[in-house]
Structure 1
């Protein structure tokens, strides 16, 4: 499946619906990597391991840079960074898979050169569980 058509929306605490952030160019890897915890007994012949707590790691979305209005994703997310506000996010793939989580954001504008586009990176510091909703058969 291609990443084409993927969307990222956000809402503030207590909000009822997600607002799409236009200009999305790249989505990150998504999932939790549990820490491997060694738990070997003296009678074991080999080391034994268990999965510990998970780490979502750093998730960075790439956007087209646009700061032409108060509703521009760059400006909206930069203000969220400055306030330290935790927002709710919903990533929607073209097949209907939805991934939701809460995060604080950081915004970094990329550099540029001759014939090079300027973009911005939106990095998530995840503050909740990551919840994946599979698509319904009607949306596939």
Structure 2
């Protein structure tokens, strides 16, 4: 695999499975952090010189994606809302994260000379599970 100096978020694609059909949600402006910190379990006892912890289970945070409003992408987001679906976030080099969750939307406010947008909020029930890229992006 070729070494790259870094990777921009540009070109990332968010999609979900609608039955057996993958639907892409276009116009995504920002992507949340994927993954979460594990909870800490306190195992300190009276003979401990300092507090001791072991890792507990991870608590999945809601994933919030800011999206430019377009009729089709908002319709797709509404169609995915309220039901548990499989989502995939794929970056330009092929790195992807798969997660299952139930979506809802929050339509953003408006302002003079500002683009309308909405927030897609996914309550995660499984994942996100990363799959590393296997090839370098084109041109590198």
Match of 2:28 in 1: 24
Q: Is the 8 A contact 1:99 1:132 kept in 2?
A: yes
Give the TM-score normalised by structure 2.
0.86
Runs (5+) with no aligned partner, structure 1 = none
Name 1:126's counterpart in structure 2.
Answer: 124
Asked if the contact 1:30/1:56 (under 8 Å) is kept, the reply is: no
Which aligned segments of 4 or more residues in structure 1 are displaced greater than 2 angstroms? 137-140
Deviation, 1:4, is: 0.5
Kept after mapping to 2: 8 A contact 1:18/1:90 = no
- Gaps of at least 5 residues in structure 2 are 1-6
Distance 1:27 1:113 in 2: 23
Aligned length: 132
Q: TM-score, normalised by structure 1?
A: 0.86
Contact 1:24-1:63 within 8 A present in 2 as well = yes
Q: Which residue of 2 aligns with 1:96?
A: 94
The equivalent of 1:8 in structure 2 is 14
Q: 2:83 aligns with which of 82, 85, 97?
A: 85
Shift of 1:18: 2.4
Give the RMSD, CA atoms, in angstroms: 1.6
How far has the Cα of 1:137 moved from its partner?
3.0
Give 1:102 shift: 0.5
What whole-Å deviation, never above 9, does each CA across 1:14-47 have from its counterpart, x for those lacking one? x2x5221111111111112111121112211111
- Aligned-pair distance for 1:95? 1.5
Matches within 5 A, 1:36-47: 36-47=40-51
Partner Cα separation in structure 2 for residue 66 and residue 77 of structure 1:
11
Larger RCO (CA under 8 A, 6+ residues apart) = 2
Cα separation, 2, equivalents of 1:133 and 1:92:
9
